[in-house]
């Protein structure tokens, strides 16, 4: 195996690791909101506290994705640019597939938050 092949494999591993970290980060953020919501569920001021907490989470969420996606874009370009030309297109396909998975996970987290909010309002 030549060094170019090993470098390519290493680049793929780094991209995979980065995408897994993004999924874990999103999962942790969702779990944090869920835990806070559960804690507030039986609180007398629950409605006010829940609304405040969700407003804060949404405000933070509006800012984070743009920066997160910009960083993922830069990371992918930086890694793929270093590959030999013949490996770039497959790397782009793999990386964008991973980005779709991250996006799908984020979408599910947002859906969960919306369902939790709807349950609270009932």
Of residues 15 and 109, which shows the higher confidence score?
15
Output the CA–CA distances (angstroms, integers) from residue 65 to 18, 78, 87, 97, 106, in the order listed: 15, 20, 28, 18, 9
State yes or no: pLDDT of 12 exceeds 80.
yes
Euclidean distance between CA atoms 86 and 54, whole angstroms = 47
Q: What average pLDDT is seen over the chain?
A: 79
CB 28 within 8 A of CB 92: no
Highest mean pLDDT among 36-40, 95-99, 109-113, 117-121: 95-99
Name every residue whose Cβ is closer than 8 Å to that of residue 73 and which is 6 or more positions away in sequence.
none
The predicted pLDDT at position 1 comes to 45
The pLDDT of residue 44: 63
55 to 33, 102, 113, 114, 122: CA distances (angstroms): 11, 23, 11, 12, 18
pLDDT at position 76, please?
Answer: 92
The pLDDT of 11-34, averaged and rounded, is 86
Instruction: Kindly report, residue by residue over 38-47, the tens digit of the pLDDT.
Output: 777 666 665 6
Specify the pLDDT at position 122.
58
Q: Which residue has the higher pLDDT, 61 or 103?
A: 103
Q: In the block, which residue shows the tokens 């890694």?
A: 79
């Amino acid at each position: 195996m030549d060094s170019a092949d090993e470098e390519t494999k290493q680049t793929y591993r780094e991209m995979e690791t980065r995408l897994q970290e993004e999924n874990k980060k999103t999962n942790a953020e969702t779990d944090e909101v869920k835990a806070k919501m559960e804690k507030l569920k039986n609180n007398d001021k629950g409605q006010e506290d829940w609304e405040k907490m969700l407003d804060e989470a949404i405000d933070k969420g509006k800012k984070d994705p743009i920066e997160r996606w910009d960083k993922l874009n830069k990371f992918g370009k930086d890694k793929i640019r270093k590959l030999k030309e013949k490996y770039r297109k497959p790397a782009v396909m793999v990386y964008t597939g991973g980005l779709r998975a991250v996006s799908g996970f984020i979408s599910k987290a947002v859906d969960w938050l919306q369902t939790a909010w709807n349950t609270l309002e009932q």
